Amino acid sequence: MPVTDDEVAVLRAHLAGDQVRYRELYGRLDRSAATRTTYSLLITAAFMEAVERRFAGNGTAADVISYVADVRSRSDDVAEALDARAAERLIRDVLTDEETADIDGKTRGQVYIIVLSALVSDERFDDAGLDAFLATAREKADDYLARRTGS
């Protein structure tokens, strides 16, 4: 099952900072197991796309440490919620295939959504830019889903 327009709309509202609309759309989202999987994959794909845009070609380990600290320094809540070492490893995983299998799902999810939000904020997308970014992420997620199901 590919990513749906509704799932893209939910993530778009979150990344655009429209939390009222995000909560409204998320509340209406189909919560079946299949949908939870595709929505998670959309977030993962968006995280990977955002990391590649930010760090590809010039992302040293020091850059990653500094960036995660920059994100954690933006608010005390984020500093508390974001596991620095897990965030650094998951960013490096996109860049250099670091082994991250030991990072649990909850930590992984927090890293993806917090760092993704920060990366998108830093990009300062206009509406068209955010749409294009999400279209690329959606394509990546759909490609992965297609490969996984062998279709």
Partner 1 sequence: MTTSVTDKYVAALRAMLTGDGDYDRLSAELQARDGARSGDVISALTGMALSTAARRRFPDGWTNADVVRLVAQVRVRFGDVTGDIDPRIAEGTLRGALGDAAAAENLDNTAMAIAVPALLSVLLDQQGISGATEIDAFLADVRPLADAWLARQQ
By CB under 8 A, name the binding residues for partner 1. 61-62, 65-66, 68-70, 72-74, 76, 79, 84-85, 88, 92
Cβ proximity to partner 1, 10 vs 82, nearer residue: 82
Cβ proximity to partner 1, 92 vs 140, nearer residue: 92
83 contacts 107 by C-beta, under 8 angstroms = yes
CB of 105 to partner 1, least distance (A): 20
Residues 28-49: b if buried by 16+ CB within 10 A, e if exposed: eeeeeeebeebbbbbbbbbbbb
| Both structure tokens of 62 | 């020091």
Residue 26 CB-half CA count within 13 A? 14
Cβ proximity to partner 1, 28 vs 85, nearer residue: 85
CB of 15 to partner 1, least distance (A): 23
Amino acid at 86: A
CB of 122 to partner 1, least distance (A): 16
Q: Quote the CA–CA distance of 88 and 97 in Å, as a whole number.
A: 12
Cβ proximity to partner 1, 22 vs 67, nearer residue: 67
